[in-house]
Amino acid sequence: MIPALDRQTITYAQLAKTIDHSVLNPDLTEADVVAQLELAKRYNVASVAIKACELPLAVSMLRGTGIAVGTTIGFPHGVNTTAAKVCETHDALENGATELDMVINVGKLRSGQSDYVRREIQAVVDAARGRALVKVIIEIAYLNTEQKVLACKLVEEAGADFVKSSSGFAPSGYTLEDMKLMRASVGPRVQVKAAAGVRSLDAALGVIDVGCTRIGTIATAIILDEFERLQREKASPA
């Protein structure tokens, strides 16, 4: 398990490396994408989550930076067939992705079809094995408490690397209670990622406090600029 971060001692570099900078809005032009990749480079984030069609561009622009290039599988609703998700996985890997954010089939989970959900996650994990991290989006806004716990357990059983709260395309995102529950529902091998609602430094530190090691956000500059400002103020003589 990655050691928990402490908001009292976290550094700028550590905070930046919790961030998966999201570049997934469907209306982004190529110029918009280039600008967002430059922003990711400037802030030296953990990864960029980008549309699959832009993977070659992202790989080219981020080569040598240490910033991982990620994309989505079954995004945003998770309703693709398992075969389609596996095909997307292979295509993403061939185009240079090293992190994959996969959406589960929420309807199947809510229908009690746990085996279907587990097997589908496992199929993507197997396809990505040794080449990419797999983060599984359980779309927590649609689930009751029992289903949230079950989804986390299925992610762990299937061998994925992360359980992630939300896609950003559901009616709502996570709550801090959700993130605490997710952290408590998986063992130390599985990391937890919060997304859909992390738009401020306070929100970022809040999910870090409850054990999240990655944050999906479009508000990278807002979060890190505010952190840097507060650090300068602390260092300035009274």
In CATH, what number is assigned to the domain containing residue 78? 3.20.20.70
- Give the pLDDT score at 45: 98
Answer yes or no: is 22 within a domain: yes
Answer yes or no: is 41 within a domain: yes
- Give the pLDDT score at 1: 61
- Domain with 224, as residue range(s), is 12-235
Answer yes or no: is 85 within a domain: yes
| Residue 237 to residue 47: CA distance in whole angstroms | 35
Number of domains in the chain: 1
Answer yes or no: is 3 within a domain: no
Distant-in-sequence, close-in-space partners of 53: CB < 8 Å, separation ≥ 6: none
- Give the pLDDT score at 210: 96
Answer yes or no: is 6 within a domain: no
| Residue 192 to residue 164: CA distance in whole angstroms | 6
Answer yes or no: is 180 within a domain: yes
Long-range contacts, 169-176 (Cβ 8 Å, 24+)? 169/76, 169/77, 170/139, 170/141, 170/142, 170/196, 171/141, 172/141, 172/196, 172/197, 173/140, 173/141, 173/197, 174/140, 174/207, 176/206, 176/207, 176/210
> Which tokens is 189 given?
């091998």
Active site residues: 101, 164, 193
Contact between 96 and 56 under an 8 Å Cβ cutoff? The reply is yes
| Residue 148 to residue 10: CA distance in whole angstroms | 29
Answer yes or no: is 4 within a domain: no
- Token pair 């967002």: residue: 36
| Residue 65 to residue 47: CA distance in whole angstroms | 10
The answer to pTM > 0.85 is yes
Answer yes or no: is 155 within a domain: yes
Give the residue ranges of the chain where pLDDT is below 70.
1, 238
Secondary structure, 3-state, the chain:
CCCCCCCCCCCHHHHHCCEEEEECCCCCCHHHHHHHHHHHHHHCCCEEEECHHHHHHHHHHHCCCCCEEEEEECCCCCCCCHHHHHHHHHHHHHCCCCEEEEECCHHHHHCCCHHHHHHHHHHHHHHHCCCCEEEEECCHHHCCHHHHHHHHHHHHHCCCCEEECCCCCCCCCCCHHHHHHHHHHCCCCCEEEEECCCCCHHHHHHHHHCCCCEEEECCHHHHHHHHHHHHHHHHCCC
